[in-house]
Amino acid sequence: MEEQALVATVFPTFVELGATKRAAQAAMVGMRGRDGV
């Protein structure tokens, strides 16, 4: 039971971090494209 609660708390955080990382990578690629580097 305790393990399930931990997973339910931590998993959404990992999902959020993944989405944030992808957004940051996309922003970095977009900036590079604009600078022509």
pLDDT value at residue 32: 73
**Identity of the highest mean pLDDT range in 1-5, 7-11, 15-19:** 15-19
The pair of structure tokens assigned to 2 is: 């305790």
pTM: 0.51
Radius of gyration of the chain (CA): 16
pLDDT value at residue 36: 56
pLDDT value at residue 37: 52
Q: Tens of pLDDT along 16-34?
A: 999 999 999 998 888 777 6
